[in-house]
Structure 1
Amino acid sequence: MANVVNSTQSFIYDLYNFYQWSQAMADQRTKGWMLVDSPFPTLVYTMIYFLIVWAGPKLMKNRKPFQLTWALVPYNLAMAALNLYIAVELLCASTKLRYNYLCQPVSKLRHPDEIRIASAVWWYYFSKLLEFCDTFFFILRKKDNQLTFLHVYHHSTMFSLWWIGIKWVPSGSTFLPAMANSFIHVLMYTYYGLSAFGPKVARYLWWKKYLTILQLIQFTTAMIMGINGIRSGCDFPLWMQYTLVIYMISFIVLFGNFYIKAYIEKGSKVFEGNSRSQMHVANGYMNGIEHAMLQNGDCKKLH
């Protein structure tokens, strides 16, 4: 028993020392920024998110779905505007600083444009908290088919992982995935904002399929750049590059599976269904002709 107690105390002590060491290694430029200093707010919000994902559909089971057009339109367009701001900030500041897109070490300088990049990365991290509303709207509208593993995994992990980003690497090569993803989110939230107006508008929105393709291109590019950074010895935290590669592989698998089921397999079924319908129509048409000719005594014309 004494050995168990001692082992537990030793583990807690080592864990505390690691926490203190990791805090000392954090980027001091973002110290004191909202939600940054401690991991607990991020963990608490993520746990609340999981709780709502679990309990929300149960609470809505016997209730009518909410329409929420009044909230969906401004929310999605506001998110599009926020992501546009983040992307433009990162693009302008990184261009001024002449950042290298293949490998950019983390600078601890307090140059105004470096702080500008760190600030944009913070907004990107914070936007991942706001994006929890995507899930809450699905629940309130009883779109439970949208609450896939991919959706929940994507939203919950992005918020946590980008806390790591803003805490330890708020500049350097961190800027590129945030910038690319923000540009894609501008298109995505614009799409969702416009589609919330209903079928009359939604039928003109043709680019949903291509958003998934853009995301797959983004994930693949980020994975290749991460592998290249590891191979070339880029002066960027190695653990971050390995994390990036593994994370991107998971996204490629999950989003690739979604694309196959949503567009390739579904498209094949639609094509097959259309072909069968056309055959039924053709058979019906020929049967009608044969029936008419039999009635007119023209049976010989069919043989």
Structure 2
Amino acid sequence: MSFNSNRTTYLKPLWFERLNVSESKELIRSYQTSVVYISVGYVVLTFLGRWWMRNRKPFKLRRPLIAWNLILAIFSTIGFWRTFPTFVALLTQPDGIYRSVCTYDYTSDTEAFWGLMYTISKLFEFVDTVFIVLRKAPLLFLHWFHHMSMAIFMFYLYPIGDPVGRWGGILNYGVHSIMYSYYSVKMGGFQVPKSVSSIITMLQMGQFVLTLFANVYALVMFGIGYPCALSNMTIFIQFVGGTSYLILFANYYYQTYVKLKPKSA
């Protein structure tokens, strides 16, 4: 089995996508400790907020929530549009899967820029929880744990830049583009079949399955002697994060769409 080492870029970077990758990695690395504190503070403030709201009427916030979901839907759609074509072009190569998880041949300014935006966006997604707290909507462990851990994980993964990370980021862009669009439509008062939300949950589980597959594949290739850009930090975060998220989302799916509940529920 042989591998072509020529670098190919399929999307020409737009003017705002050009960045110094080394500087962007150093920037994110310099905030790693701060993000840990911010993420812990996010959890503390979340539960303080729920305590503060316990005897207060919920805020409606319908229009701000629609606008917020639309912003995230548009952001995720653009991120997916700018990264997915190169990802597909890479995977359709004879050695595509290997190169997608083990080599830097297909990295580009476009991919690096949207990886940076993806990393930073995990902090902005904390705003999702603000709406939940102020509207007194149910707050699941899945929700705040996922937001907190993803922010920390991404600020440690981006500076490493292992190729396998593109699987999680690009797939998540795609799922979020659908998920936040769904939230926008639902908050807009449109009737959406319950099956749509269950499909979105399945897509979320699917991205974790594929990400775990990519990591296992990379480990296998490394184990049989092929060079693979895979660090111990990436292996740890991808497996711990991917496995925990898959279990939590699978449990949520079972509790919400499979388990029989009393009619009173």
Question: Shift of the alpha carbon at 1:95?
Answer: 5.7
Question: Shift of the alpha carbon at 1:31?
Answer: 4.2
Match for 2:146 among 119, 130, 154?
154
Question: Shift of the alpha carbon at 1:96?
Answer: 6.9
Match for 2:196 among 207, 213, 221?
207
Alignment partners' CA distance in 1, 2:175 and 2:41: 27
Aligned to 1:63: 56
Deviation track 1:91-137 (CA, whole Å, cap 9, x = no partner) reads 24446777834443353x9x9x6122111001111111111111110
Whichever structure has more helix as a proportion of its residues is 1
Which runs of 5 or more structure 1 residues have no equivalent in the other structure? 1-26, 274-303
Return the letter of the residue paired with 1:213.
M
Q: 1:249 and 2:243 equivalent?
A: yes
Q: 1:215 to 1:75 in 2, by over 3 A?
A: same
Alignment partners' CA distance in 2, 1:130 and 1:258: 24
Return the letter of the residue paired with 1:47.
V
Q: Which has the higher contact order (CA 8 A, sep 6+)?
A: 2
Q: 1:94 to 1:222 in 2, by over 3 A?
A: closer
Return the letter of the residue paired with 1:250.
S
Match for 2:132 among 119, 133, 138?
138
Return the letter of the residue paired with 1:84.
T
Aligned to 1:122: 116
Aligned to 1:51: 44
Q: 1:244 to 1:64 in 2, by over 3 A?
A: same
Which runs of 5 or more structure 2 residues have no equivalent in the other structure? 1-20
Alignment partners' CA distance in 2, 1:102 and 1:180: 17
Alignment partners' CA distance in 2, 1:51 and 1:236: 37
Kept after mapping to 2: 8 A contact 1:89/1:116: yes
SS state at 2:158 partner:
helix
SS state at 1:67 partner:
coil
Match for 1:226 among 204, 215, 219?
215
SS state at 2:159 partner:
helix
Question: Shift of the alpha carbon at 1:83?
Answer: 0.6
Alignment partners' CA distance in 2, 1:214 and 1:163: 24
Alignment partners' CA distance in 2, 1:80 and 1:186: 5
Runs of 4 or more, structure 1, over 6 Å off, are 96-99
Q: TM-score, normalised by structure 1?
A: 0.70
Alignment partners' CA distance in 1, 2:157 and 2:103: 11
Alignment partners' CA distance in 2, 1:49 and 1:215: 23
Q: 1:103 to 1:241 in 2, by over 3 A?
A: farther
After superposition, the CA RMSD in angstroms is 2.5
Alignment partners' CA distance in 1, 2:24 and 2:164: 17
Aligned to 2:4: none
Return the letter of the residue paired with 2:206.
I
Greater CA drift, 224-233 or 235-244: 235-244
Alignment of 1:56-95 (within 5 A): 56-94=49-87
Question: Shift of the alpha carbon at 1:177?
Answer: 1.2
Q: Which has the larger radius of gyration?
A: 1
Deviation track 1:208-261 (CA, whole Å, cap 9, x = no partner) reads 010111111221121122112111116122411343123211112111111111
How many residues align? The count is 235
Aligned to 2:183: 192
Aligned to 1:40: 33
Alignment partners' CA distance in 2, 1:232 and 1:202: 47
Return the letter of the residue paired with 1:158.
M
Q: 1:101 to 1:120 in 2, by over 3 A?
A: farther
Kept after mapping to 1: 8 A contact 2:118/2:169: yes
Q: 1:192 to 1:61 in 2, by over 3 A?
A: same
Match for 1:264 among 255, 258, 262?
258
Return the letter of the residue paired with 1:263.
Y
